[in-house]
Every structure is written in structure tokens, then in C-alpha cells.
Structure 1
Amino acid sequence: MNELQFNRHRRLRTSKNMRALVRETFLRTEDFIYPIFVVEGTNVKNEISSMPGVYQISLDVLEAEMNEVVSLGIKSVILFGVPEEDHKDECGTGAYSHNGIVQEATRVVKKSHPEIIVVADTCLCEYTSHGHCGIVENGKILNDESLELLAKTAVSQAEAGADIIAPSNMMDGFVAAIRAGLDEAGYTDIPVMSYAVKYSSAYYGPFRDAANSAPQFGDRKTYQMDPANRLEAIREAESDVEEGADFLIVKPSLSYLDIMRDVKNNFNLPVVAYNVSGEYSMIKAAAINGWIDEKSIVMETLTSMKRAGADLIITYFAKDAARWIKEEQ
């Protein structure tokens, strides 16, 4: 028999250590940003029915939560505020209040763990009575009129001690307005982590349970992106880079890995994947039913985001993934 000529790729897969030796993509605990939903009240720790293992917690419970986060080696959290319904109004005043829930939560975290990076979600939807991310007039979400309130929110969060401002509203010009507001207030060193590429996605459903932020009329398709569009993502990200963004978020992640790679290839800024609530809940539901191996699926999913170009990952799996990484060390 004549000798066959072919490549023996399996030589580099012969053992666990050999596979580790040539591995191209790695997950680190430092890559994760853990989302926390903070509510008003005392002694509150409510599991979100559509997001098993994720809780709404009150300020007095936050320090204990942060102790666990820090013990796992997680370096960053993103804070979402969930005010009482009767504290909401047409202009989302609670978003930029000195004593707003995100501002107070930031102070709690920085007091107990000053080294932790606090990312503040900067939006109005959790605080408006109509549930939209800007000012509404005659059923229309007003763009330019909303920018001033978003800048005020960012400044109040920086005053409270937030390390990074993360605006998620998708109003045109929001990065420019926030950057100008921060600079004018003296916060020139506070970076902006822009939700640069945010699609109008059905994967956000469970988050709206967690944040009580579903719109009371219509939808967000006039300001969030059409899932069918790819080139538009580059235009959106390019605008944010020009306006002064320091990080670029792609949201959601799992169904938009191609977009993440496009953003990584086109811009020399840290790219952040948001592993959103629907992605989390689908895996949790399948794991609870015994249909999948949760650890293997989660780690493969998060690795796919890193491989697609993400430098950082916002994920509700952060604590579990940190434990699993420790186990492997």
C-alpha cells in the first residue's frame, strides 16, 4: 500500500495537557462583569422567577452579596436599579437623583470593597412610568431632549463613586452628551462603556422581569437595532468611538457572534459581550430539566464569546464560572 499523505492534526489532541498546551482562547475570572439588581426596601432577596439563581436584593443585603463576589475573584460588577413603582415618573427622575438606588448601591459597594470596579447602568427605562429609555411626547420617544437627562444621570453616578458609566439607551448622540457632561463636571477620567451595538431582541424578556422595565406601550424598535442588520452595527460603533467611547458593548452576544467579530476587527477598543438574560434562562431551564450539562454548556458558550472577539463578558453566570475556573486550577 502506498503511503498516504495527510496531516495528523490529532497529534495536538492526544491528552488533556497537550490540548491545554495549544489552547488558543482562555476564560479568566477577571474577564467577568457580574450584574446585580438592587431594589428599595430592607432584607429583600427575591429570586427572579424567569432567571433561577439571580436575585433582586436590597441595599442592606448588598454587602453580603459583594463579599461572595470578591471571594470568588470577580473584579467588576454592573449595578441596575429597581425603584418602587410609585417612585417612577415621566422623566425618570430617580435615575439622576443624588439618593437614587444605583447611586446608593455604588456607595455601599465602594465603602465595603473600594477596589471593586463599579459599572453603573445609565438609562431611564427602569425609572420612567412609561418604561421607555427617554422622554416621551405624544407617543414618540424624543432623542435630543433625552440626552440632557442621560448626562445628568451619568454625572450623578460618577459623583456617587462609579468607576465606569455604561449608557444603554441607544439615543443618537448619547456618548457625546455623556462625555461632555462628565468632562464639564470634572470627571474626565471616568470611562464610558457604551452599549454601542444593541439590538431590539426577544432575548431581553427575563431582564424586564428583573428590572421591572417593560415598556408600557409600543416597543423599542425605533431606537434599538434591527436584528437583521450587520453593517449598521459598524456605523453605530463608529459613531460612539468618534464621540469618545472607551469600551464597546455588543448585546445580545450568542446570536450576534458575527457582529462581535466585526466590531473587534474594525475598532481598537475593548469589546464587551453582554450574555443577556434570555441566553442565561434558556441554559438554566435546560439544565434544570436535565437535558444538558450546565457547566460544560456555560463554559463553551462563554468561550465562544471570547473567541469571537470579546475582551470582557457581562454575564449572570459569572459566579458559577468563577467557581468552575477555580476548580480547574
Structure 2
Amino acid sequence: MALSPNVIAALQIMYTGRGVSASDLNWWATDGANITYAEAVALFASSPDAAIKYPFFQAPQTADKRQYVAQVFANLYNIDINDTSLVPTEELDYWINWLSLSPDNYLDFPNALNNASAAAGLTDRLEALTNKADVSLSYTEALSTAGVNTFTEAQYAEAAGIIATVDDTNASVLAAEAQIVEIAASLSVFTIAQAQATPNLPPAYTISDTADNLIAGADDPVVTGANNVIANQSPAAPLSVEDANILLATADELAAGVTWDILDTAADVLAGGAAVSGAASVGITDIVDVATASQLLALGNFDGVYAIADTSANIVLTQEFPVAPLPSLCPILTFP
């Protein structure tokens, strides 16, 4: 019967401090299904990663035994051997001497220490290693959900860093889980181009792209299929009301600092709704009559640049109307 994921995760931590990928667990469930616990201990103990984690493995006959014992206690339980309330002097002396009893004892020490701690009912130690294994598997699951089943060395190192912060407390687990959530979320964020180039997108992913790209790709399946869409950069130029509406309909949120300007006909501006009221500034592209100019000036974000074409009568009747707040830019065209 194959060893459980929790056992594999614990052994990986005991001997290397690293996490396990979904591909790693799959190997143990298939090709490694008939490997016994004792054989698994030997495999982990003889791995290159174990020799990196514990330099003692590279020169067991001459290396410092006390230092090795200290590293194992810290790795498995986040315990400092100098704290005699957690590691009595008698226990520390016992393990240092135990390492000298057989030339290969050092390979089994992490496993032997954990077995002895369990036999002695030292539940705080067992809880620490259990928490570490649970967090390790949470990292595995989170990355697998994001489409990452085989870890890079950077991801193994990232997992190891998170696991190392976990001890026997629930608070340490919650803090680690929060880190994992953030990491998984970042792995599920794509630009439109990245999503298009990804053959197997995770079930829940985010598109984060420029406003211009979102407008152009609003109907793209990778955009419509996203769990969340973020505009992370303002448009390069003012938008038409139609394009602003597309942006607002496509983006679930705008990143901090993202704004848009409107430049369109007066008729479209006045009928623009949220696309206009939410704009940083609004400009028009056509000449308007007095009544339309009055409506435009009532907009709080209108840029005030306009030209009027209307009858003399209408202009005369509106002597108090600020027909030209910016005279050089707003000529008055009169028609008898």
C-alpha cells in the first residue's frame, strides 16, 4: 500500500525541509507505491537534498554532532536545543552519544528522534511536524489548483521558507496559509497574451491588463472566461463613450490610479451615463448650440472647450450664459 501524502510530506520535511509537488506525490502513489516506510526513510536520507539540508551528512565522521542535533530539532519542531525546558540536557547528551553508536545512525536520526518523541508523548513536537506537513500539502494543493504540478527550484525554496515558519501553534499555521493564498493568487494572474499562450489555464484565474488591451479583447474567450478582470493601466488616449462603456463592462476592477478621459460628440457625451460621470475629464469633438453647451457646462468634469453655432436670437437671450469661458478656444458662431 502506498504511503500517504502526509507521510511523504513529513519525511520530505524531516530530511530536506522542502515541500512536495503534485508530481512528487503522484510518483509515490504510482511508481513508488510499493516502497515501505523504512525504504522511504533510506531514500530521503540518501538524497542530495538531505546532504544540502544537513551538512553533517557530507562528513559524518568529523562533523559536529551537537550542531547536527540542533539542526534536526530546529527543522522538525522549531525547537532550540539550548532551551533546556524543551530539550533536557540528558536527552541532548543521549542523542549525541547515540550518533556515535553506529556509523549509519546519523541517516536515521530525524526519523528516530520523531519516533522517540511520539513514544514519550511529546505532543508539542508531534503537533509542530504535523502542522508543517499540513502546510506543505496546502502549498501543493494551491499551486496544483493554479496549474503548477511540477515545482521549480524556486518554488521548492519558497515552500521550504513557509514551512520553516510553522511550529506547534495555530497562529503559525494561519500565517503560513495566508502566505500560500497570496502566492497562489499571483500564479493565477495573466495578461490576455499570457492567457492565450497558456494551454491549461487554472479553473479560477485573473486577467490583469491595460485598459486598451481589455477594450480590444473584451470578447476574447480568455477574458470572458476569467474569474476576475483588472484594468492595470489607464488608456493611452481619451476614449469614446462606447469604448469607455466596454471598459467598464469588461473590467471587474480598476487598479489604483487607473482613470480615463472621454472625447466624443456632445450627443454621445450627454447620453454617456457612468462612462461620462466617472471620467477624469470630458471633451467634445463637434460644435454645439447654446442649449447643448449649457448642458455640457453642467457636467462637473467637462473640460470647458467648445464652440457654438446658433442663432443670434438664442445667443442674445442668454446674455448671462457663459458662452465662452475660454474665449480663445470657444469662438461664438452666429447665424441670423
Task: Give the TM interval when normalised to the shorter protein.
Answer: under 0.3
Higher helix residue share: 2
Q: Looking at both structures, which has the greater relative contact order when contacts are Cα pairs under 8 Å and sequence separation is at least 6?
A: 1
